[in-house]
Amino acid sequence: MSDPLPTGAKTIDAAPGVSRRALMAAGAVAGASALAPGALVPGRAVALTLSPDEARFLAVSRAVTGRQDLNPLIGTRLFAAMVRTFPNYGARIAALSRLAVAGGKPEEILARAEEANQRQTMLDLVAAWYTGSVQDRTNAPMVAYRDALMYRPTDDALPVPTYCFGTPGWWTEVPPALGVAVLSPVPVPAPAPPPVGVEAKPPAQSRILPTKPPAKEH
């Protein structure tokens, strides 16, 4: 798989690193319970029980992406797809976990991964979360589409392709002020006052003349 992301260390988000204690706890706990908000049914949370390998994969993913809010359900699906795609993937993640457990920002983990010949493993993992697919090729199977990380930087102003923020033609509306998300409630102007009523008068009618009695014969 070719590098779908730039390979320089500065291209990975420099979010705060994961602590050694947090990573070890997440990777070592077997059968860890997690919540995947809105993973299957919008507005509902799905309880998951992660295997030790899945828990390690999720902990490493959070470390190398610098994001602690990764969806555990998507993580289990990505891990299953990566295992089917890359030989000995469990051993690769275990090796990357040993590098990530030292903590630090993603670019610091990348530097250690390069020294340990695990650079491509880390890039493949980051690419999977950002693209929602485990392979960089046409018609590659998608594990996640709308929840791919590449859409997060603009999710307050641009919808995910094929999705819509509102009714058809929503883009013709006046955009919100700078710093206000598109989905924020827009103030509704006060309705116009009702028109002043006009008294209706019946139309003028012709005067009805009284009927004359018939003349008497003499």
pLDDT band at 69 (very low <50, low <70, confident <90, very high): very high
Spatial CB neighbours of 216, under 8 Å, sequence gap ≥ 6: none
- Average of per-residue pLDDT across 16-21: 45
By three-state DSSP, how is residue 109 classified? Answer: helix
| pLDDT for residue 46 | 53
Share of the chain above pLDDT 70, in %: 69
Q: Cβ distance 134 to 143 under 8 Å?
A: yes
Q: What are the C-alpha distances in Å from 81 to residues 39, 76, 121, 135?
A: 17, 9, 14, 10
- Average of per-residue pLDDT across 85-112: 92
Residue 61 has pLDDT above 90, yes or no: yes
| pLDDT for residue 63 | 95
- Average of per-residue pLDDT across 89-101: 93
By three-state DSSP, how is residue 32 classified? Answer: strand
| pLDDT for residue 41 | 41
Q: Cβ distance 81 to 143 under 8 Å?
A: yes
| pLDDT for residue 1 | 41
Give the DSSP letter of residue 97.
Answer: H
Tokens linked to 162? 């094929």
pTM of the complete model beyond 0.75: no
| pLDDT for residue 205 | 73
b/e sequence 52-67, b meaning 16+ C-beta within 10 Å: ebbbbbbbbbbbbbbe
- Average of per-residue pLDDT across 163-174: 74
- Average of per-residue pLDDT across 92-119: 93
Directed axis angle between helix 89-100 and helix 119-131, to 10°? Answer: 100
**DSSP-assigned beta bridge partners for residue 46:** 36
Residue 30 has pLDDT above 60, yes or no: no
- Average of per-residue pLDDT across 103-123: 93
Share of the chain above pLDDT 90, in %: 36
Q: What are the C-alpha distances in Å from 113 to residues 41, 98, 100, 116, 133?
A: 37, 10, 9, 5, 22
